[in-house]
């Protein structure tokens, strides 16, 4: 007696089909699982055995063989519990095999027969729709995230018994319908740019960064407001589009950071890992690769506070994802690609004691120590950070003022206007902000006036800037011009862009 159940598994942030074949053969009772199962999959036989018994079904007194095809791909996770249980029931004749033909099934079983959530249901639903499955049965908690995918009916169940009743057409499960207003009215933050007193230059730099999707490094003494500014960057970023929200949710679903019953991640991610993080934690890894912080920050912000305190080897692994917007993690078991198109926001002190260049406090560091401290951040990494801005200590008169600066909403208006200009200009090119432009697009859309060319040439020669820094300056100048509503990039735009390369200028 043989039965087959369609299931799905996650590899990276994508999913692939797994066919759960169950064979009941005469012989001594046994339960074997083949097809490269890892620990949680091998243990499923005990969960399945208890779940079937406690749900009122009897386990066949046969030799049970479960094959997870394709057999040459390693399988992990507990999502095969439900398809294995249904395969056993189908092979035993309890449920008709034809009821499983166009259905994809995934879910972990509790010992009492209840269904528990699993990771990666959104990418599984995407694959189920692509492969032509009509229905997808999964735990009820996971149903909202899978329901955002069109082309497959998502059925959420709370127990094995409910699934069996549905397949026997006794009590049908109702498809879960996605809320069409998932992204409406979600941008309410407790933080606001008004909370930060002074620091107008830093706020201007953050506005430029948000408008063009640029990376930014803030350098300043302790307590000058670097962390406050970084945390408020998310409040002035454009809201997620539906396509971006789906991509962010896929990563969160695979990583297991999606909240129960949450359909979509509706805010741009803000990740702030501690400086003791490993390179695998930052870019992803493990024997069976998982997404790292750069992927969890996809379409959002990755904030690295106290940048020189991170291990240099950890920082260097970010160089490739900062350029390509993705991370390829290769292991013996698999090679996977994680999305990693994020805005890098970093903060650091100017020296070990933190007061180099501070007019109010004397620096106790020798020139050698200052240089050694700054050398912890390599030149190639600094090249990939578009804006490098100084954040000086805030004077008392600014701290004590009752006058509030512009709100986050006012900054957001500027950012949205600039992003709108960029989208019109770049939509046909497949990119949506200036920071994503490649070399060809930069040359096409960042043409300078004669005065702008002269000042940029002088800066390149005086500060010995690299070709990458040249491209970054052009993109920043383009964003500054967009914020000003200017069609051409003029002298003032280029000059301001050059001023945001403070570390390149030796400051």
- CATH at residue 8: 3.30.230.10
Q: For residues 325 and 342, what is the distance between their CA atoms, to the nearest angstrom?
A: 7
Do 266 and 357 lie in one domain? The reply is yes
DSSP string, 43-105: THHHHHHHHHHHTT-PPPSSEEEEEEESTTS-B-SSTTHHHHHHHHHHHHTSS-GGGGTTEEE
CA dihedral (238, 242, 247, 249) positive or negative: positive
User: pLDDT-based confidence at 506, cuts 50/70/90?
Assistant: low
Residue 332 pLDDT > 80: no
Please say which residue of 129, 152, 167 terminates a domain: 167
Is residue 185 assigned to a domain?
no
Bridging pattern class, strands 387-390 and 343-348: unpaired
Domain presence at residue 489:
yes
What is the rounded end-to-end Cα distance, in angstroms, of the chain?
76
Tokens (6 digits) for 111? 């010992």
Q: What six digits make up the tokens of 115?
A: 């269904």
Q: Answer for the pair 471, 439: CB distance below 8 angstroms, yes or no.
A: yes
Indicate whether 139 and 207 sit together in one domain. no
Q: How would residue 262 be classed by pLDDT, with cut points 50, 70 and 90?
A: confident
Is 49 strand, coil or helix?
helix
C-alpha span between 279 and 40 (Å, rounded):
26
Domain count, the chain: 3
> Dmax of the chain from CA atoms?
88
pLDDT at 300 over 90: yes
- Give the whole-angstrom CA distance, residue 384 versus residue 307: 14
Instruction: Report the distance separating Cα 469 and Cα 464, nearest Å.
Output: 10
Residue 262 and residue 317 in one domain: yes
Q: Summarize pLDDT for 382-407 with one digit per residue, the tens.
A: 989 999 999 998 887 878 777 778 99
| Assigned domain for 272 exists | yes
User: 353: domain range?
Assistant: 193-400
Same domain for 267 and 138?
no
Query: For strand 14-25 and strand 63-69, is the pairing parallel, antiparallel, or unpaired?
Result: antiparallel
In a domain, 405, yes or no: no
Output the domain CATH number for residue 305: 3.40.50.300
Q: Comparing 100-109, 182-191, 472-481, which segment has the lowest mean pLDDT? A: 182-191
Same domain, 132 and 274: no
Based on the fold, state whether residues 161 and 198 are members of the same structural domain.
no
Distances (CA, A) of 214 to 132, 223, 239: 40, 24, 16
pLDDT in tens, 485-504: 998 899 999 999 999 987 76
Does residue 505 carry a pLDDT above 70? Answer: no
Output the pLDDT for position 181.
Answer: 63
Confidence category of residue 184, pLDDT binned at 50, 70, 90: low
Angle at CA of residue 250, ends 248 and 256, nearest 5°: 100
Q: Which of 351, 380, 400 is the last residue in one of the domains?
A: 400
Instruction: Give yes or no for a cis peptide into 70 (omega within 30° of 0).
Output: yes
Residue 427 resides in a domain: no
**Number of residues written out for the chain:** 507
pLDDT of 185:
53
Give the whole-angstrom CA distance, residue 297 versus residue 106. Answer: 27
The residues facing 2 across adjacent strands are 23
Cβ atoms of residues 192 and 408 within 8 Å: yes
H/E element holding 96? none
Cis peptide before 84 (omega within 30 of 0): no
Per-residue confidence (pLDDT) for residue 465, from 0 to 100 = 86
- The pTM assigned to this predicted structure is 0.91
- What integer is the mean pLDDT of 18-36? 94
Q: Is pLDDT of 442 > 90?
A: yes
Write out pLDDT tens, residues 341-383: 999 999 999 999 999 988 888 999 999 999 999 999 998 999 8
Please give the Cα distance from 262 to 348 (Å, whole number).
36
Tell me, yes or no, whether 332 and 372 share the same domain: yes
Please tell me the distance from the alpha carbon of residue 411 to that of residue 229, in angstroms, as a whole number.
Answer: 13
- Residue whose token pair is 């009509």: 134
Q: Do residues 205 and 120 share a domain?
A: no
Same structural domain, 53 and 138: yes
Helix, coil or strand: residue 283: helix
Average pLDDT over residues 465-477: 92
Inside any domain, residue 420: no
Residue 469, domain member (yes or no): yes
Other CB atoms within 10 Å distance of the CB of residue 27: 10
Tell me which residue of 177, 329, 178, 335 sits closest to 246, measured CA to CA: 178
Q: Is residue 350 situated within a structural domain?
A: yes
Burial 271-284, CB ≥16 within 10 A → b, else e: bebeeeeebebbbb
State the average pLDDT over residues 447-462.
92
Which token pair is 145?
């995230």
In this structure, are 235 and 340 located in the same domain? yes
267 shares its domain with 319: yes
Quick one: pLDDT at residue 357? 86
**What is the torsional sign of CA 425, 431, 433, 434?**
negative
The CATH number covering residue 446 comes to 1.10.8
Please give the residue that has the higher pLDDT: either 146 or 260: 146
Judge whether residue 286 has pLDDT over 90: no
Higher per-residue confidence, 297 vs 241: 297
Higher pLDDT, 37 or 334: 37
pLDDT band at residue 219 under the 50/70/90 scheme: very high
């Amino acid at each position: 007696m043989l039965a087959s159940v369609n299931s799905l598994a996650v590899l990276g942030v994508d999913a692939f089909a797994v066919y759960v074949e169950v064979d009941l053969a005469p012989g001594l009772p046994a339960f074997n699982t083949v097809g490269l199962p890892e620990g949680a999959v091998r243990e499923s036989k005990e969960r399945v055995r208890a779940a079937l018994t406690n749900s009122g079904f009897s386990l066949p007194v046969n030799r049970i063989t479960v094959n997870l095809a394709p057999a040459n791909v390693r399988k992990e996770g507990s999502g095969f519990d439900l398809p294995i249980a249904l395969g056993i029931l189908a092979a035993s004749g309890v449920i008709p095999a034809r009821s499983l033909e166009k259905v994809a099934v995934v879910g972990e079983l509790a010992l009492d027969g209840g269904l528990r959530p699993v990771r990666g249901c959104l990418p599984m639903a995407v694959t189920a729709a692509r492969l032509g499955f009509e229905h997808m049965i999964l735990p009820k908690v996971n149903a909202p995230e899978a329901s955002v995918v069109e082309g497959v009916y998502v059925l959420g169940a709370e127990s094995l018994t409910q699934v069996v009743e549905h397949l026997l057409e006794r009590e049908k499960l109702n498809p879960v319908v996605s809320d069409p207003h998932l992204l409406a009215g979600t941008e309410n933050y407790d933080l606001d740019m008004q909370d930060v007193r002074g620091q107008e230059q830093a706020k201007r730099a953050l506005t430029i960064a948000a408008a063009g999707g640029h990376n930014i490094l803030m350098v300043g003494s302790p307590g000058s407001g670097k962390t406050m500014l970084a945390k408020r960057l998310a409040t002035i970023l454009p809201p997620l589009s539906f396509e971006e929200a789906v991509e962010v949710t896929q990563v969160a679903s695979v990583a297991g950071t999606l909240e129960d019953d949450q359909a979509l991640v509706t805010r741009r991610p803000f990740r702030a890992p501690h400086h003791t993080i490993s390179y695998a934690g930052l870019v992803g890894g493990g024997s069976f690769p998982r997404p790292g912080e750069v992927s969890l920050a996809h379409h959002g912000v990755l904030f690295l506070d106290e940048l020189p305190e991170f291990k240099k080897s950890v920082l260097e692994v970010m160089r490739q994802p900062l350029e390509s917007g993705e991370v390829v993690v290769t292991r013996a078991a698999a090679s996977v690609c994680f999305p990693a198109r994020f805005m890098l926001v970093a903060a650091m002190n100017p020296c070990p004691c933190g007061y180099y260049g501070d007019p109010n406090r004397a620096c106790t560091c020798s020139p050698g120590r200052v240089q050694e401290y700054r050398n912890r951040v390599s030149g190639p990494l600094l090249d990939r950070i578009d804006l490098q801005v100084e954040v000086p200590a805030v004077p008392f008169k600014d701290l004590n003022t009752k006058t509030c600066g512009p709100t986050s909403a006012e900054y957001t208006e500027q950012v949205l206007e600039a992003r709108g200009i960029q989208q019109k200009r770049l939509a046909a090119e497949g990119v949506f902000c200036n920071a994503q432009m490649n070399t060809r697009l930069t040359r096409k859309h960042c043409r300078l006036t004669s005065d702008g060319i002269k000042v940029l040439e002088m800066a390149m020669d005086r500060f010995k800037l690299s070709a990458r820094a040249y491209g970054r300056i052009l993109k920043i100048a383009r964003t500054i011009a967009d914020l000003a509503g200017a069609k051409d990039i003029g002298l003032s735009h280029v000059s301001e862009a050059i001023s945001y390369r403070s570390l390149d200028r030796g400051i």
